[in-house]
Structure 1
Amino acid sequence: MVTINPYLNFPGNSLEAFTFYKSVFGGEFAVVMSFGDMGSENVAEEDKDKLMHIALPIGKGNILMATDTVGEMGMGYKEGNNFHLSLNVESKEEGDTVYNALSAGGITTVPMAISAWGSYFGMLVDKFGISWMVSFDENRG
């Protein structure tokens, strides 16, 4: 089985974002580590409370991970960075639930509906600027 573990970059609010994602998907954080926890002298004092790594297991074998971009890491940060996270759900009902939760405070780009290729599908950008695709294909097994 192939698993995809997306790693997201945030401009200092990864804990806020991951608290939101935890409210959507449930579960517990596997890791929450700040830059200060690492004891690095190369990190500015104002960045020591920002997260170096956070991980939230989601479903069967998937882990959503992130970091706060600090110092020179943050120079190229652009909200969204032109990617989508694709979620394949197990039912239309689960699709609606996840889609509605993720889109709260965000932007609906494609409402959940039967797509031209036959999947129940929707797209959105959440309130943190992350692009998502939600899909259910009842023929997939």
Structure 2
Amino acid sequence: MAELVPQLEFDGQCREAFERYAALFGGEITVMNTLGETGDVPLPPGSTAGAPDMVRFAELRLGDTRLLGNDLPADQYASPRGFNLAMHFETADEARRIFDGLADGGSISVAPTKVAWAALFGMVTDRFGIPWLILGFED
């Protein structure tokens, strides 16, 4: 069986984003290395080295789920589009807390509201440019 694991790309903000996500979601950063720390390991084909302090690979564990990330040089970075990260929570209160944390410094595209399929539904792009869809299922 395959495992689907999202990997996010950042414009030099991977460390800050993952530290924020770990605090907000209650997860644990299990890997965070930089290009300077792993300079002897070849880059994947088609990759270009960035500054030594750029994150080469990060892993955040959220229960049984993993979120991966890395930084890209500015000339290779493009803002994410065409997807969002959907997070489902048992309660609307927990969903609201996460939504508000992601909205801090970000932009709200759909304010949290009750919908037919969830007690709370909202869409936000966080301060790092990552789009999120947040759902809470019980009032």
What is the TM-score when the length of structure 1 is the normalising length? 0.81
Corresponding residue SS for 1:123: strand
**Alignment partners' CA distance in 1, 2:90 and 2:79:** 29
**Alignment partners' CA distance in 1, 2:80 and 2:117:** 27
Residue 5 (structure 2) aligns with: 5
- Unmatched 5+ stretches in structure 1: none
Which one has the bigger strand percentage? 2
**Alignment partners' CA distance in 2, 1:107 and 1:122:** 11
Q: How far is the alpha carbon of 1:2 from its aligned partner?
A: 8.5
Identical amino acids, percent of aligned pairs: 30
**Alignment partners' CA distance in 1, 2:126 and 2:13:** 14
- Unmatched 5+ stretches in structure 2: none
What is the TM-score when the length of structure 2 is the normalising length? 0.82
Residue 111 (structure 2) aligns with: 111
Q: How far is the alpha carbon of 1:80 from its aligned partner?
A: 2.2
Contact 1:9 1:67 in 2 (8 A): yes
Corresponding residue SS for 1:16: helix
Residue 53 (structure 2) aligns with: 49
Residue 137 (structure 2) aligns with: 137
CA RMSD, Structure 1 to Structure 2 (Å):
2.4
Please list every run of at least 4 consecutive aligned residues from structure 1 whose deviation after the TM superposition is greater than 2 angstroms: 1-5, 39-44, 74-77
**Alignment partners' CA distance in 1, 2:34 and 2:83:** 25
Which one has the bigger helix percentage? 1
Count of aligned pairs between the two proteins: 132
